[in-house]
Structure 1
């Protein structure tokens, strides 16, 4: 989380492996496929490239350039960490993989101080959406729709719906401030489901997780 009154925040990377790694770091605004050199964000990230030795760490500095951002809600950016393993010595045959991690960075206006209450204010309902059935044919699918009346992003480790006494998973995700999000229930059939409820796992600022339940409106 990046408070709006902070000039910079730091992020520590740790190499828990047995080999040195080369790490490329950059921020984006949610457009994951845009090359780092073409991304425009109001931050400077350094170092852009670093070598991290085994059992050692590196510290990234994220500096806010003071470019104006909304002051009535959070804005989300993504920290990208591309890990490239060191090359093997000549004559060794090895298949090398590069791993990219994307971490949410929430820019939070300093006057927003009630983030912990946000998950409990969400409104949930069952919805029917257009999807695909067997053979790729168009078909209606059951989903849960969440409305977020708060100025905060809310992240979910998972979202499950209890329908007719059985829980059905809709995966995880996130809902934006003052926005809506739909989570499809691929194993459920559209129709009336009296007594339905949603169980959602919330991920807080510190990576901690806890579960809340609410009735689902039909």
Structure 2
């Protein structure tokens, strides 16, 4: 079932879509995108304009800032070695009311690791068309609308059970003021919730993914001890079953 989104209006910033069950706004067919290597001709992603206005849609692929889990700032300088081997078409398109935008994402070079996932963001920015009267009188504030979807490139040969299987293999240890998560799997882990001794970790910290075959550290409050429970978001943005591990201090 498609999720319907309302436009947020924030001055001085590029607002994101706010998820709502409503008949107006934009509907997206996916919030998390998995690009299997087997799709040799690329994959598609779509959204529908349910508003009464036309939008100019700009679409592109962005790297992730792993210190925050958010898209990297556009101002970040990129060298030749930082080029993203993915392209999205069409990069620009007018989207009229009721029209569907379908994007094709395609791998342009075999430079990504083949033993683990890679992660990026698909960014889609919409600039609303100005009403004719407003364009004549001037003085109108036009706000761009941006949505960022995590996109995972998944090489061939990774375990079929995907994130659900990976969630069961995580290992946790408390080290001073941090909960350290070890991920031996080839999949990125995106937690929906983690608790230590029944106390939840802050959602902002959990934006940071646990890299494949690596680890991540999350801050914990003094005295947080006890059983660790966790759930992660799977390929369909659904929470996996709750997993538990008794406390393991290092």
- The 1:55–1:126 alpha-carbon spacing in structure 2 relative to 1, beyond 3 Å, is farther
Among candidates 135, 151, 169, match of residue 201 of structure 2: 169
Match of 1:143 in 2: 178
Report the Cα distance in structure 1 between the residues aligned to 2:47 and 2:76, rounded to whole angstroms.
19
Match of 2:98 in 1: 55
Task: Please tell me whether the aligned partners of residues 15 and 56 of structure 1 are also in contact (alpha carbons under 8 angstroms).
Answer: yes
Q: Across the two proteins, how many residue pairs are aligned to each other? A: 197
Superposed structure 1 runs of 4+ greater than 4 Å apart: 35-39
Question: What TM-score do you get using the length of structure 2 for normalisation?
Answer: 0.70
Match of 1:182 in 2: 217
Match of 2:68 in 1: none
- The structure with the largest strand share of the pair is 1
Residue 87 of structure 1 aligns to a residue whose secondary structure is: coil
Coordinate RMSD, CA, aligned: 2.4
Task: Please tell me whether the aligned partners of residues 42 and 65 of structure 1 are also in contact (alpha carbons under 8 angstroms).
Answer: yes
Which deviates further from its counterpart, 98-107 or 88-97?
Answer: 88-97
User: What is the Cα deviation at residue 206 of structure 1?
Assistant: 1.2
User: What is the Cα deviation at residue 192 of structure 1?
Assistant: 6.9
Report the Cα distance in structure 2 between the residues aligned to 1:36 and 1:50, rounded to whole angstroms.
26
Task: Please tell me whether the aligned partners of residues 28 and 36 of structure 1 are also in contact (alpha carbons under 8 angstroms).
Answer: no
Provide structure 1 residue ranges, at least 5 long, that are not aligned to the other structure. 129-141
Question: What TM-score do you get using the length of structure 1 for normalisation?
Answer: 0.80
- The 1:170–1:217 alpha-carbon spacing in structure 2 relative to 1, beyond 3 Å, is farther
Report the Cα distance in structure 1 between the residues aligned to 2:243 and 2:38, rounded to whole angstroms.
34
Match of 1:213 in 2: 243
Give per-residue Cα distances to partners, 1:181-205, cap 9 Å, x unaligned.
Answer: 11223xx22x473xx1233231111
Which deviates further from its counterpart, 103-112 or 168-177?
Answer: 168-177
Give per-residue Cα distances to partners, 1:89-146, cap 9 Å, x unaligned.
Answer: 2326543322222211111111112313101100112233xxxxxxxxxxxxx33221
